[in-house]
Amino acid sequence: MIKSELVQRMVRANPHLYQRDVENIVNTIVDEITAALADGNRVELRGFGAFSVKNRPARVGRNPRTGTTVKVDEKAVPFFKSGKEMRERLNKDKKR
Amino acid sequence: MGAKTVTRADLSEAVYQKVGLSRTESADLVELFLQEISTCLENGENVKLSSFGSFIVRDKNERIGRNPKTGQEVPIAPRRVLVFKPSNVLKDKINNGALPGGNQ
């Protein structure tokens, strides 16, 4: 499912809303999560999962093609950990 | 290290401020957004949100794990896990914000 399909499904559940309003809502949510992470904050959505930012220290890497060493600067990467309910839903059919 | 934890309430507030809906309806739409994504993933379908990232469902095989405290071997059943692959756009935004030193 891509963003436009997600919007369509949400419109189907809310026929009184315009598609552009729902697009606006989806973009607002995504932008809000992005902005929080850019500020170094955590986003915790119970049952769904949590987004956080992890810092990767600088390291000496290697160009795998040429073998030359390159310095890789310190960087921050976004990280997502699925929530308990989400993990259970993913494995529902496998449980007995 | 983040000073603040953003929750559903903050997302609803943002929707409320940006789109002219009631607070209740804003909260319902944030919930619907999460539920539609969850349902999709539950059905084994990946979810791709452009310029944000992809949620990918992966199948893990059974493997032998070990209780780190007792050293006892325990089988870990095959299971499905969810991974999030951030888009380059998201990664760039996070590095420009979190590390003002700026790097490439």
Q: Write the CATH number for A77.
A: 4.10.520.10
Total structural domains within chain A: 2
Q: Contact B80/A37 with Cβ under 8 angstroms?
A: no
* B47–A contact, CB cutoff 8 A: yes
Q: Are residues A37 and A18 in the same domain?
A: yes
pLDDT tens digits, one per residue of A34-47: 999 999 999 999 99
Query: Which chain B residue shows the shortest CA-CA distance from A42?
Result: B5
Question: pTM for this structure?
Answer: 0.86
> What is the H or E stretch that residue A43 is in?
strand A42-45
Would you give the distance in Å from CA B73 to the centre of its chain? 31
Q: How are the residues of chain B apportioned to helix, strand and coil, as percentages rounded to the nearest 5?
A: 40, 30, 30
Query: Which chain A residue shows the shortest CA-CA distance from B20?
Result: A21
Q: Which residues of chain A have pLDDT under 70?
A: 94-96
For residue A92, is it within any domain?
no
For residue A22, is it within any domain?
yes
For residue A93, is it within any domain?
no
pLDDT at B104: 40
Q: Are residues A16 and A35 in the same domain?
A: yes
Residues 61-100 of chain B whose Cβ lies under 8 A from any Cβ of chain A? 77-84, 86, 90-91, 93-99
Q: Contact B84/B57 with Cβ under 8 angstroms?
A: no
pLDDT at B97: 52
Q: Which of B2, B15, B99 sits opposite A29 (nearest CB)?
A: B15
- Distance, in Å, from the CA atom of B47 to the CA atom of B54, rounded to the nearest integer, reads 6
- Distance, in Å, from the CA atom of A87 to the CA atom of B83, rounded to the nearest integer, reads 11
Vertex A29, ends B53 and B87: CA angle to 5°?
A: 15
A59-65 long-range Cβ contacts below 8 angstroms, 24+ apart: none
Q: Are residues A2 and A30 in the same domain?
A: yes
pLDDT at residue B101 is higher than 70: no
For residue A96, is it within any domain?
no
For residue A27, is it within any domain?
yes
Q: Are residues A35 and A56 in the same domain?
A: no
Length of chain B (residues): 104
Q: Span B51-63, mean pLDDT?
A: 95
Q: How far is A30 from chain B (nearest CA, A)?
A: 7
Q: What is the mean pLDDT of chain B?
A: 90
Q: Which domain holds residue A19?
A: 1-41
- Distance, in Å, from the CA atom of A47 to the CA atom of B38, rounded to the nearest integer, reads 10
Type of residue found at A26: V
Q: Are residues A36 and A71 in the same domain?
A: no
For residue A59, is it within any domain?
yes
Q: What percent of chain B has pLDDT over 70?
A: 90
Q: Span B36-63, mean pLDDT?
A: 95
Q: Are residues A2 and A37 in the same domain?
A: yes
pLDDT at B1: 52
Q: Span B26-31, mean pLDDT?
A: 97
Q: Are residues A29 and A53 in the same domain?
A: no
- Given the DSSP bridges, would you call strands B53-60 and B79-86 parallel, antiparallel or unpaired? antiparallel
DSSP state of B20: S
DSSP result, A34-60: HHHHHTT-EEEETTTEEEEEEEE--EE
The residue of B34, B35, B83, B85 whose CB has the most chain A CBs within 10 angstroms, and thus the best one to mutate to test that interface, is: B34
pLDDT at B96: 81
Q: Phi and psi for B54 in degrees, rounded to 5?
A: -120, 140
For residue A21, is it within any domain?
yes
pLDDT at B41: 96
Cβ contacts of B96 on chain A, cutoff 8 Å = 38
pLDDT tens digits, one per residue of B68-100: 999 899 999 899 999 999 999 999 999 985 444
